[in-house]
């Protein structure tokens, strides 16, 4: 009888201990989650983001390029390259692959650098593999 009572007492204490820890842990997790959600989400406008898409449209008067589903603004300091040479907006061909980087300035996607055509490394690898055959 005494051993059953001790076993019951031990089980009750263990249950109380683990239930108390779970409640405490849940309260701490909730506080941490609220603190993370309350922190302001700021995006650095100077952060350069990469892109890789086909040229869908070119607007030379507005100086914009539609790449995929997004419209990018060409800035005066945008660096443009085609075939490893400096390029202009006139060199953009619809359907051509392009890649580069841009900045998101309050919702305006500003081009920092754009390369029209395939990467030079990819072009040189393709020509060397066809020459080897």
Domain range annotation of the chain = 1-41, 49-119
One DSSP character per residue, 85-99 reads EE--GGG--TT-EEE
Q: Which tens digits make up the pLDDT trace of 6-34?
A: 777 777 777 766 666 555 556 566 666 56
Q: What is the pLDDT of residues 63-118, one digit of tens each?
A: 999 999 999 999 999 999 999 999 999 999 999 999 999 999 888 999 999 999 98
Q: Distance between CA atoms of 97 and 83, rounded to whole angstroms?
A: 12
Question: Which single residue is written with the structure tokens 């619809």?
Answer: 94
Q: Which CATH number fits domain 49-119: 2.40.50.320, 3.40.50.1970, 3.40.50.720, 2.40.50.140?
A: 2.40.50.320
Q: pTM above the 0.75 mark?
A: no
Give the helix/strand (H/E) hosting 110. strand 108-116
Separation of alpha carbons 18 and 35, rounded Å:
26
């Amino acid at each position: 009888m005494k051993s059953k009572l001790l076993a019951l007492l031990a089980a009750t204490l263990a249950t109380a201990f683990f239930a108390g820890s779970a409640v405490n842990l849940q309260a701490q997790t909730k506080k941490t989650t609220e603190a993370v959600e309350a922190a302001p989400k700021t995006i650095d406008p100077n952060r350069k983001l990469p892109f890789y898409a086909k040229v869908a449209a070119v607007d030379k008067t507005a100086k914009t390029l539609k790449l995929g589903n997004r419209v990018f603004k060409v800035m005066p300091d945008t660096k443009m390259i085609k075939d490893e040479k400096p390029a202009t907006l006139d060199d953009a061909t619809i359907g051509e692959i392009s890649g580069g980087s841009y900045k998101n300035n309050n919702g305006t996607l500003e081009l920092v650098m754009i390369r029209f055509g395939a990467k030079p490394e990819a072009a040189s690898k393709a020509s060397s593999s066809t020459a080897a055959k």
